[in-house]
Structure 1
Amino acid sequence: MPDSPIVPAGEQRRRIRDAFAAAAEHYDHHAEVQRAIVADLLGWVSQSAPAGLPTLDAGCGTGYASAALQTDDAQVIGLDLADTMARRALQRGELGIVGDLERLPLRSASVGRYWSSLAWQWCNADTAAAEAARVLAPGGVLQVATLGPDTLRELRAVFAEIDSAEHVRRFQPPEAVQAALIRAGFHSVRFARRVQAGFAPDFASLLRDIRGVGAHTLGDSRRRGMLGRHAWRRLCDAYEIHREAAGLPARYDVLMFEAIR
């Protein structure tokens, strides 16, 4: 019997939704890296959106970016796959609605700015880019931070010593995301790549932080059954070789894009 059964695409979307819905209550407590990536994207982008049109915070989470995205003449629409996340964004001042980045429940050409931090990695890039292009007005700006293939590479390496299952999701390279944007009709595409790291005192805490922000959903395959005590000990010991003064690192390969519709 194989260790890594294939998970259908529809089941993957349900799992992603459920993981983030369950994480909403304690997301902010674990989201230090995610907040740093929002700050990176805010500091890097250069384009202003057309006046008078709303900003879409696509994959808004708890709405942490709300205050920074708000302007005097533009409402912020917070959209998330998980209803519990959308409700928290509503409490932070966004118009919180439930929706999928691959099927946006918005009119065509209805927003001036499409902002998304750490949501595209859970989507098909071509589908997300096409939907972003559809809802943006001509001249509208897209600003996206997503995760690249080197994300959590240390974690992937130590799990590979245990079995062949996909314990760490694989994300697309920047070339694939940029190509998706161009196919969707975007131009003036800018790109930057950064590394953000979080640190934990031990391996269990590191995994707890990843699960705490809902980012533990697997890729196309999964392991059958639980890890045994011996396998867990091997994982803890193997990860210790990566320890730094600040603790055990969880590194995120951050891809940032800006483009014009």
Structure 2
Amino acid sequence: MTHNKSKIRQSFSAAAASYDAMARLQKQVAVDLLHQSEMPTSQQTVLDLGCGTGFLTEKLADHVAVENLFALDIALPMLHRARQRPALTRCHHICADAEALPFVNNQFDWIYSSLALQWCSDLSAVFKGVQQCLKASGKLAFATFGPATLKELKTAWKHVDDAVHVNDFYPSDHIEMALQRTGFTSIHLNSRLYTLSYRDVWALMRELKGIGAQHVNGRQSQRLITRKHINQMIAAYPKQFNGDIIASYEIFFVQAQL
């Protein structure tokens, strides 16, 4: 799966100011990830990989000494937002790519990541880097989107053309195989389908733009998308009895250990 890192960085940088106000799913998933994970101890060293504006990092700061807490993101404006959280002023903030981690070997006891790894083109490269910078018996806990995410939007666009208008996401077997290839054991993956309600399709698209998730991987349409095409998609999008729409988000929660 190919992603344009420059476009991803630009999208999330542009969304830094609006992200917290619009990231209702992202906040809930981060909370659910922690509820499903064994929490680190105060003296352990922890990395939040793809930290965004620091919502999950701040939750981790309740359990970990802040001098042992690291937050990494590819978008510098996101890190600036994270640094403004009072609990994270002394946290280590690093602007870097998850596929090229800038850490020494055996540095972390725990690595967490919430809804960030789906933007990586090579999961094996990510997990290899994670494996190298985790300590012996180190643990990885992350949440990522599954293929059923935004299935209603994908189906609606199929009434317009055969191009890719919505991101594809890694299936569970691909994630598990990538973890196994890089030496992880005790891999536990479970999925959960979240459904969010929106006033209309425009509200959904505004939210996706507001959190920086409008980047599309795969075979995109080469033609200009006009208002006519968008209206065709909207007309095909299934409505609820009250006129609202829903959007589905498949989330994989994964824990693995070296």
Report the TM-score when normalising by structure 2. 0.91
1:117 deviation in Å?
0.3
Partner of 1:91: 84
Kept in 2: contact 1:50–1:140 (CA 8 A): no
Describe the superposition over 1:49-100 as per-residue Cα deviations: whole angstroms up to 9, x where unpaired: 4763321100000000123212354622110010111111122203221011
2:99 to 90, 98, 102: 102
**Residue 200 of structure 1: CA displacement?**
1.4
In structure 2, give the amino acid aligned to 1:174.
Answer: S
Q: What is the correspondence of 1:1-261 to structure 2 with a 5 Å cutoff? A: 9=2, 12-45=4-37, 47-49=38-40, 52-70=43-61, 71-73=63-65, 75-92=68-85, 93=88, 94-123=91-120, 124-239=122-237, 241-243=238-240, 247-261=244-258
Deviates more, 1:71-80 or 1:111-120: 71-80
The one-letter code sitting in structure 2 at the alignment partner of 1:135 is: C
Give the Cα–Cα distance (whole angstroms) in 1 for the partners of residues 243 and 23 of structure 2: 17
The structural deviation recorded for 1:17 is 1.0
Moved more, 223-232 or 118-127: 223-232
Q: Deviations over 1:121-173 (max 9, x none)?
A: 11121111111111111111100100111110111111111122211111111
Change (3 A) 1:17 1:257: same
- Letter in structure 1 aligned against 2:111: Y
User: How far did residue 231 of structure 1 move?
Assistant: 1.8
TM-score by length of 1: 0.90
Post-superposition Cα deviations, 1:193-235, rounded to whole Å, max 9, x if no partner, equal: 0012222101111101011111111112222343223222211
Alpha-carbon deviation of 1:48? 4.2
Aligned residues: 251
Distance 2:144 2:159 in 1: 27
RMSD across aligned positions (CA): 1.9
CA distance in 2, matches of 1:141, 1:242: 42
Q: Which of 64-73 and 193-202 deviates more?
A: 64-73
| Distance across 1 between alignment mates of 2:164 and 2:124 | 23
Could you tell me how far apart the structure 1 residues matched to 2:256 and 2:175 are? 12
Counterpart Cα distance in 2 of 1:167 and 1:238: 14
Structure 1 residue matching 2:4: 3-state secondary structure? helix
Name the CA shift for 1:202/1:48 in 2 (closer, same or farther; >3 Å).
closer
What is the deviation of 1:246? 8.8
Name the CA shift for 1:230/1:246 in 2 (closer, same or farther; >3 Å): closer
Alpha-carbon separation, structure 1, partners of 2:42 and 2:55? 22
The answer to whether the 8 Å contact 2:73/2:94 transfers is yes
Contact 2:145 2:169 in 1 (8 A): yes
The 1:57–1:245 alpha-carbon spacing in structure 2 relative to 1, beyond 3 Å, is: farther
**Mean Cα deviation higher: 96-105 or 48-57:** 48-57
Q: Is the 8 A contact 1:49 1:140 kept in 2?
A: no
Equivalent-residue separation in structure 1 for 2:241 and 2:57 (angstroms)? 34
Which amino acid letter does the alignment assign opposite residue 33 of structure 2? L
Identity of aligned residues (%): 31
8 Å contact 1:33–1:197 — kept in the other structure?
Answer: no
Partner of 1:4: none
